[in-house]
């Protein structure tokens, strides 16, 4: 292929692909590079709620069933480029800086270069490379790949790797999420008239209850799982009255409640409790919840990852990945270069030695499974 992981990561970082906008440009480049690596590429797409075209790619090398699949995403959070050179792919010392360098254009580059190291003729079992859209905003790309990809369905890889940054430590489980949206409706009016009814005052009693509940949840064993660090669910609340001015009574006030779900943590009961409290006040309320991703740490793919990372003990992480969707088709370990602590930050970077080590690990996994 003629590229190393630093060069390819820089190339990918140089194309802005914030989730709010279309990822077609970066997908075109990734598809071109996949084909250079000898992959047959399936292209899936949808138009999001903003009218933006979103593209996910499924590349296949080799014939038959089983083998190994590597899963990444091409979208990023906003670059905050007013504060740094987010899209230049700058190398300083042993770090490569740029939005997506860590999460997760660097990991994607590593999977592609590892797959390029073997020819289709060498393979007894196939390799799949997947690059999804919109992981950062709900994972609709991974959902589409899971349910619509003919390649994924026909091959059903025996082993799956989501290459999110884990500092190259195998991860067998991550938390899910719950989201409750509560809206109180008032009546807008100029405050001098005394005619309005502020939605902020209407929702205030519920907010006070949530503040007390947040204190309790942090220490209530029903909502903790000590297999994770931290063991708590990160219960959080964000409030908006839609930029109502100080001399206007708010027509709407909305509270977004979010927390992370874990196995055996009474998440469903907690969501039901919050929804019932909100409805008891007469508020408008909606809720959604995704379950955590959990794979037995003794599973073959977790042990494979541990073997080629020097026997590292598999761990859990508090953040989410596309594994929550892809688990319907393949057992997955999360394993990638870079630290999640650097993802989404101003000055995001990936450590260059980890890029090379990731290529080495992924190549060994391919040799073990597919040759």
Contact 111, 366 (CB under 8 A): no
**Residue 1 scores a pLDDT above 80:** no
Here the tokens at position 269 are 């009961």
Nearest to 128 by CA among 73, 64, 44, 69: 69
**pLDDT tens profile 178-212:** 999 999 999 999 999 999 999 999 999 999 999 99
**Residue 274: half-sphere exposure toward Cβ, Cα within 13 Å:** 33
User: What are the tens digits of pLDDT across the range 245-283?
Assistant: 999 999 999 999 999 999 999 999 999 999 999 999 999
What separation in angstroms does the CA of 192 have from each of 166, 188, 247?
56, 12, 8
What residues contact 124, with CB distance under 8 A and at least 6 apart?
A: 62, 64, 370, 371
CATH fold for the domain made of 177-290: Alpha-Beta Plaits (3.30.70)
The answer to whether 5-174+292-370 and 177-290 have equal CATH topology is: no
d(CA 348, CA 261): 27
Helix, strand, coil distribution of the chain in percent, nearest 5: 35, 25, 45
Peptide bond into 275 cis (omega under 30): no
Token couple for 106? 């660097």
- Each residue's pLDDT tens digit, 337-367: 999 999 999 999 999 999 999 999 999 999 9
Q: What Cα–Cα distance (Å) separates residue 306 from each residue in 110, 174, 311, 368?
A: 18, 17, 5, 13
Q: How far apart are CA 62 and CA 32, in angstroms?
A: 18
Convert the pLDDT of each residue in 52-80 to its tens digit. 999 999 999 999 999 999 999 999 999 99
- The CA-atom distances, in angstroms, between 146 and each of 122, 151, 259 are 27, 10, 25
Which is nearest to 6 in space by CA: 256, 332, 355? 355
Domain ranges of the chain: 5-174+292-370, 177-290
Write down the pLDDT at residue 219.
Answer: 92
Average pLDDT on 212-224 reads: 94
Rounded CA gap, 55 and 26, in Å?
A: 9
Peptide bond into 230 cis (omega under 30): yes
C-beta separation of 186 from 252 below 8 A: yes
Count of Cβ atoms closer than 10 Å to residue 194 Cβ: 8
Residue closest to 316 by CA, chosen among 135, 165, 178, 169: 169
Topology of the domain comprising 5-174+292-370: Aminopeptidase (3.40.630)
Q: Which residues pair with 18 in a beta bridge?
A: 76
Do 124 and 371 meet the contact criterion of CB atoms below 8 Å apart? yes
Cα R_g (the chain), whole angstroms? 23
């Amino acid at each position: 292929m003629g590229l190393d992981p630093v060069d390819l990561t820089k190339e990918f970082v140089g194309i802005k692909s914030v989730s709010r906008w279309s990822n077609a440009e970066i997908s075109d480049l990734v598809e071109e590079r996949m084909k250079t690596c000898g992959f047959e590429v399936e292209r899936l797409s949808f138009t999001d709620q903003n009218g933006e075209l979103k593209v996910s790619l499924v590349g296949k090398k080799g014939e038959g069933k089983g083998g190994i699949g590597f899963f990444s995403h091409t979208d990023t959070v906003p670059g905050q480029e007013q504060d740094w050179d987010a899209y230049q792919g700058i190398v300083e010392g042993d770090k490569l800086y740029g939005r997506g360098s860590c999460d997760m254009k660097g990991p994607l580059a590593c999977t592609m270069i590892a797959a390029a190291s073997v020819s289709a003729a060498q393979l007894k079992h196939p390799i799949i490379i997947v690059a999804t859209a919109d992981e950062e905003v709900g994972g609709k790309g991974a959902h589409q790949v899971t349910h619509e990809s003919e390649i994924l369905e026909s091959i059903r890889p025996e082993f799956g790797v989501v290459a999110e940054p884990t500092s190259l430590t195998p991860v067998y489980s991550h938390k899910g999420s719950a989201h409750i949206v509560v809206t109180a409706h008032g009546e807008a009016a100029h405050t001098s008239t005394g005619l309005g009814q502020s939605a902020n005052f209407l929702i205030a009693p519920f907010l006070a209850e949530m503040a007390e509940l947040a204190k309790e949840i942090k220490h209530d064993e029903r909502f903790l799982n000590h297999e994770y660090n931290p063991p708590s669910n990160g219960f959080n609340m964000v409030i908006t009255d839609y930029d109502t001015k100080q001399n206007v009574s708010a027509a709407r006030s909305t509270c977004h409640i979010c927390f992370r779900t874990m196995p055996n943590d009474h998440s469903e009961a907690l969501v039901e409790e919050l929804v019932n409290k909100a409805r008891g006040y007469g508020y408008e309320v909606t809720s959604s919840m995704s379950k955590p991703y959990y794979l037995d740490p003794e599973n073959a793919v977790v042990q494979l990852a541990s073997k080629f990372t020097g026997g590292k003990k598999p761990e859990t992480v508090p953040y989410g990945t596309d594994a929550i969707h892809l688990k319907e088709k393949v057992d997955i370990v999360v394993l990638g270069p870079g630290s999640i602590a650097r993802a989404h930050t101003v000055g995001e970077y990936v450590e260059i030695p980890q890029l090379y080590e990731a290529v080495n690990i992924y190549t060994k996994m391919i040799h073990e499974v597919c040759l």
